[in-house]
Amino acid sequence: MAEILGIGCPHGPHMRFTDETMANCYFRINLRNAKTPAALRDPKNWPAKMRAEWGKDEGVSAARRHREEVISGFRAARQALDQFNPDFVLMFGDDQYENFKEDILPPFCVYAFDEFEIGGGKGGRRYEIGPNGILNTGVSNLGIPMERPPQQSRIEGSKKIGTVLAGELVNKGFDISWSSQFHHSTGLGHAFTFTLDYLDWDRKGFPYPLIPFQVNCYGEDMRMPSLGANEWIGRLPERSEVDKSLAEGGVLPPQAPPVWRCYDLGKAVAEIIAASPYRACIIGSSSWSHASLTNMHGFLWGDVDSDRDYYEQLKAGRYDQWRNLDPDKLRASGQHEMRNWVCLAGAMEGRKAQILAYAETYIFNSCKCVALFPPEMT
């Protein structure tokens, strides 16, 4: 009989950086930027927890704790995934000008491939943020840092399952795009690649067929060079914010899909899988509020208070309320990518979440949650 396991997790790049460089990802950029209001650059005006996190070592010890907390959650999630041993993994993730660009930008797209290349290029977008690249992690018995082994270069998919899923969603009234080849990128985008990296942190390999499910989380805030936004190619952006020139007479991309539609879509996906013979894991991958998208704090820290509210709702099993989240509030709080979790919430409706990790942060761009929804026999 069909069974479904659920996992919610982040895919931000911070865990891939060294302790010394983790804060380079946005925070130091905007802390040193003259465009950031002087009052916000003064630690005296920061929340007390933020000052403590920055500390006397500029976040180095906090970076270690942040990574350890998040990766501990991913390790627990991977253990549950291996015990469940699914026939396939469906992952909701966003595309940030990677495979989809000006010629087509679908609200949703099911990738139906029999095999994917991992990390095969960002299609003109950044692949790593920060001047010092991917971290060395893992420590020898002598305490000497060691290079992490690379991810596997390819991962199995299922053109059959992806195609059937897309067709069933159309039958349910969802106008879903379907793709069996990449459009601009040569491999999976960062939302999927980084999630796989963290789920395979210890490099056991990832043997489960993947069905990536793209969600256009950014909508009108998608950075597109043809509309005046910076294209990040091998360099740090001048400022990590949605390019304001887009609003000065330019034509913005269409809005992201309604939040309620994401919830209903996830619910429909679970119904389709429940009626199938498959055991499946459904993953919603994203951090919540992004400092780099939160204007209210000068792009230095995110809407931590709002994230904390979502965390409490998740613990209490009240995440069905996410169907009615205000899209304007999500946008103001830099929670664009929350739609990936909302899709998961729809699929997991009525279940109790187990919180595996919650790493609250002010200086590492986004609070990061890892949660597990144990399977229920259908």
The pLDDT profile of the chain, 378 residues, written as one tens digit per residue, is 689 999 999 999 999 999 999 999 889 989 998 889 999 999 999 999 999 999 999 999 999 999 999 999 999 999 999 999 999 999 999 999 899 988 889 999 999 999 999 865 443 333 343 333 444 444 433 444 446 788 899 999 999 999 999 999 999 999 999 999 998 988 999 999 999 999 999 999 999 999 999 999 998 888 776 655 544 333 334 444 444 444 455 677 889 999 999 999 999 999 999 999 999 999 999 999 999 999 899 999 999 999 999 999 999 999 999 999 999 999 999 999 999 999 999 999 999 999 999 999 999 999 999 999 999 754
Count the neighbouring beta carbons within 10 Å of the beta carbon of residue 110.
24
Whole-angstrom distance, CA of residue 314 vs CA of residue 165:
27
Handedness of CA 361, 362, 363, 364 (dihedral sign): positive
Q: How far lies 314's CA from each of 99, 181, 320, in Å? A: 31, 36, 9
Count the neighbouring beta carbons within 10 Å of the beta carbon of residue 351.
18
The domains of the chain, with CATH numbers, are: 3-373 (3.40.830.10)
Closest Cα partner for 315 from 356, 284, 287?
356
Rg over CA atoms, the chain: 20
Three-state SS letters, 104-116: CCCCEEEECCCEE
Could you tell me if 338 and 262 are in contact, meaning their C-beta atoms sit under 8 angstroms apart?
A: no
DSSP string, 296-348: GGTTSS--HHHHHHHHHHHHTT-GGGGGG--HHHHHHTT-TTHHHHHHHHHHT
Alpha-helical regions (H) of the chain:
27-31, 38-41, 48-54, 60-84, 159-171, 190-199, 259-274, 304-315, 327-332, 338-347
Count the neighbouring beta carbons within 10 Å of the beta carbon of residue 32.
9
Could you tell me if 289 and 341 are in contact, meaning their C-beta atoms sit under 8 angstroms apart?
A: no
**Cβ burial, residue 166 (10 Å; 0-12/13-18/19+):** buried
pLDDT value at residue 93: 97
Return the bridge partners of 281, or none: 5, 89
**Distance between terminal CA atoms of the chain?**
7
Strand-strand pairing, 108-111 and 177-179 = parallel
pLDDT value at residue 144: 41
Question: The tokens of 142 are what?
Answer: 């002598």
DSSP string, 24-37: GTTHHHHHS-TTS-
pLDDT value at residue 307: 98
